[in-house]
Every structure is written in structure tokens, then in C-alpha cells.
């Protein structure tokens, strides 16, 4: 990939489902292919380059497939000896499948993206972490009619050294949240791409 767009972003006032102790510093960056707008394949290529250039394995993927896909996905992962777990999150009769994968090598990452990244483009939850720190917790909000409503949402546990990569809307880029110094600036993030990659930000 010739050019990558990276900008720092401010975490929203609602906390964006981040779990952390008071005073914990969390950096957020948005990254996307610069020359390929609304191109999920290019976002997948960006992920592979970022994770594989310095061999950031193992890495953990948590995603929510559509109901009814579980058996087919399990066969795929078993066929490639990819470690996974399958749980059903939710409340009472409104439960949904959640896969967690442990990805150990570049070939497994490429395979998983080829087979599942389209799920992220449908705006189902799809996120990578370096410390398996994605958990599901209940959230109290309001329904369309103003009534109190409890839902189950994924949260990022950012206590300690933590980094999470969440795929952006329609698979168009990603958001990176980190407490780790190695990912804390655009300059440091640049080093995780192949030599010669041009980094574009809002100051250019």
C-alpha cells in the first residue's frame, strides 16, 4: 500500500465503551487507505501490513457473525487449525453469536480476513486486540419510546498495556485505541508499515 491516512482523534464524551481506571491515558487514531475510499479490500490490506510488518502475533479477533453462520465458520477455522471460541451473548431470548479467534501467523490472518471481513462491512462488530481484552457488559439506555432498555455491548478493557483495532463503518478504515507507548504517536505507528509507505495526516 503506497499511502496510509492516519489522524489522531478525540474520544467521545460517552467513553466509546472503553473500560479504564481514572487517569488512564488512552490515545485514539483513525487509519484508512488514502487512495481507496469505501474499499474494504484495501482496509484488509492495511490490516495485514500493519500487523505483519513487525509480526504482531498472536493477535485476537472478536466478531459477531449473523445468526445461523456458526457451523460453517467453525468448519472453516477447524480446517485451518485456528483456535477459536464461540459464545452466545445477550439477554433472555435475544442472544447472538460471538466468535473469538487466536491468530498466530500471517497466513491465518489472511485466511480469516478473506473469509470473514465482509461481516465487518455489514457493520457487525469486528475488532482485533493484542491482549484479548474485549468483554461484553450490560448497558442501560433508552428505547425508541423513551423507556429504559438494557442491552449487551462489547467493551474494551484498557487497563494496563492495551491496544484494540476496531473496523470502521462499512469496513472503510479502522480506529485504533491504545495505552501502549509503542503505538502512541503517528510517527511510531508509521514504523509498523513497510518501508516506503507514505503517511498522510491532517497537517499535510
DSSP 74-88: HHHHHHTT-EEEEEE
Query: Which domain range does residue 63 map to?
Result: 3-194
pLDDT at residue number 204: 46
Q: What is the mean pLDDT of the chain?
A: 92
Instruction: Give the total number of structural domains in the chain.
Output: 1
Answer whether residue 203 is part of any domain: no
Starting at the earlier edge strand, list the strands of the sheet with 134-142: 18-19, 148-157, 134-142
Residue 200 lies inside a defined structural domain of this protein:
no
**Does the structure show a pLDDT above 50 at 35?**
yes
Specify if 88 maps to a domain. Answer: yes
In a domain, 204, yes or no: no
Asked, for residue 67, whether it belongs to a domain, the answer is: yes
Residue 199 counted as domain residue: no
Q: Bigger pLDDT: 202 or 152?
A: 152
Question: For residue range 59-110, what is the model confidence (pLDDT) as tens digits?
Answer: 999 999 999 999 999 999 999 999 999 999 998 888 999 999 999 999 999 9
The H or E element that residue 94 is part of is strand 94-103
Q: Report pTM.
A: 0.92
Amino acid at each position: 500500500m503506497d499511502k496510509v491516512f492516519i489522524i489522531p482523534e478525540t474520544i467521545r464524551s460517552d467513553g466509546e465503551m472503553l473500560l479504564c481506571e481514572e487517569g488512564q491515558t488512552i490515545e485514539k487514531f483513525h487509519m484508512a487507505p488514502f487512495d481507496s475510499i469505501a474499499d474494504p479490500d484495501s482496509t484488509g490490506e492495511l490490516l495485514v501490513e500493519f500487523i505483519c510488518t513487525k509480526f504482531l502475533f498472536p493477535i485476537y479477533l472478536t466478531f459477531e457473525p449473523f445468526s445461523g453462520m456458526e457451523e460453517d465458520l467453525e468448519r472453516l477455522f477447524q480446517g485451518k487449525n485456528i483456535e477459536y471460541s464461540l459464545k452466545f451473548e445477550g439477554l433472555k431470548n435475544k442472544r447472538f453469536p460471538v466468535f473469538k479467534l487466536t491468530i498466530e501467523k500471517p497466513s491465518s490472518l489472511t485466511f480469516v480476513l478473506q473469509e470473514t471481513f465482509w461481516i465487518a462491512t455489514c457493520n457487525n462488530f469486528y475488532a482485533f486486540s493484542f491482549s484479548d481484552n474485549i468483554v461484553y457488559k450490560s448497558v442501560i439506555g433508552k428505547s425508541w419510546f423513551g423507556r429504559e432498555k438494557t442491552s449487551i455491548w462489547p467493551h474494551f478493557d484498557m487497563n494496563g498495556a492495551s491496544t484494540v483495532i476496531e473496523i470502521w463503518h462499512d469496513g472503510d478504515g479502522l480506529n485504533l485505541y491504545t495505552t501502549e507507548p509503542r503505538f502512541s504517536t503517528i510517527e511510531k505507528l508509521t514504523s509498523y508499515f513497510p518501508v516506503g509507505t507514505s503517511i498522510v495526516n491532517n497537517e499535510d
